[in-house]
Amino acid sequence: MARKVLLPIDLNAPASWIKPLGEAQTMLATGGELHVVSVLPDFGMSMVGTFFKAGFEQTALHHFGDALRTWVRQHVPGAIEVHPHVLHGNIYDEILRAADKLDVDVIILAAHRPEAKSYLLGPNAARIVRHARQSVYIVRD
């Protein structure tokens, strides 16, 4: 039985959390912790950052954190012990790092039906499945 569940979500994509949140609630019906993470991607290349005002990332992270806390209040039942986490960087790297740091038992995430290009590049879900030390539960939309 899972006692600690990691739920990565995209705040702008309900398909990333509607079904996985339901599965997490079922897993945690008898107690445990839900760790909800959302990743704010970084600029990718340092030269891209020069096009933004100083302090932009900190401001974005602050607003992103507010949005995640609002999402938790609106969607996670009060009976569940929930911890929101804002991550910053490469999506799959940050999710894997959080799973290890938080010592979760399972990662629950949504996966869409991949397009042809995804088979070549590898979607985030596939990378998480390949590299996670934890069990990964994929919920198809």
Compute how many other C-beta atoms are within 10 angstroms of the C-beta atom of residue 21: 22
pLDDT band of residue 121 (cuts 50, 70, 90) is very low
pLDDT at position 11 over 50: yes
The boundaries of the domain holding residue 30 are 4-140
What is the domain count for the chain?
A: 1
In this model, does residue 120 exceed pLDDT 50? no
Strands of the chain, DSSP E:
4-8, 33-40, 81-88, 106-111, 135-140
What are 37-96's pLDDT values in tens digits? 999 887 665 655 566 677 667 888 889 999 999 999 999 998 899 999 999 989 999 999
| Residue matched to tokens 């990743």 | 39
pTM, rounded to two decimals: 0.86
What percentage of residues in the chain have a pLDDT greater than 70?
Answer: 83
Which pLDDT belongs to residue 45?
Answer: 55
Q: Read off the pLDDT of each residue in 114-140 and give the average, rounded to a whole number.
A: 76
Predicted local distance difference test score (pLDDT) of residue 50:
63
Contact (CB, 8 A) for 13 and 104:
no
What whole-number percentage of the chain has pLDDT above 90?
Answer: 61
The CATH number of whichever domain residue 113 belongs to comes to: 3.40.50.620
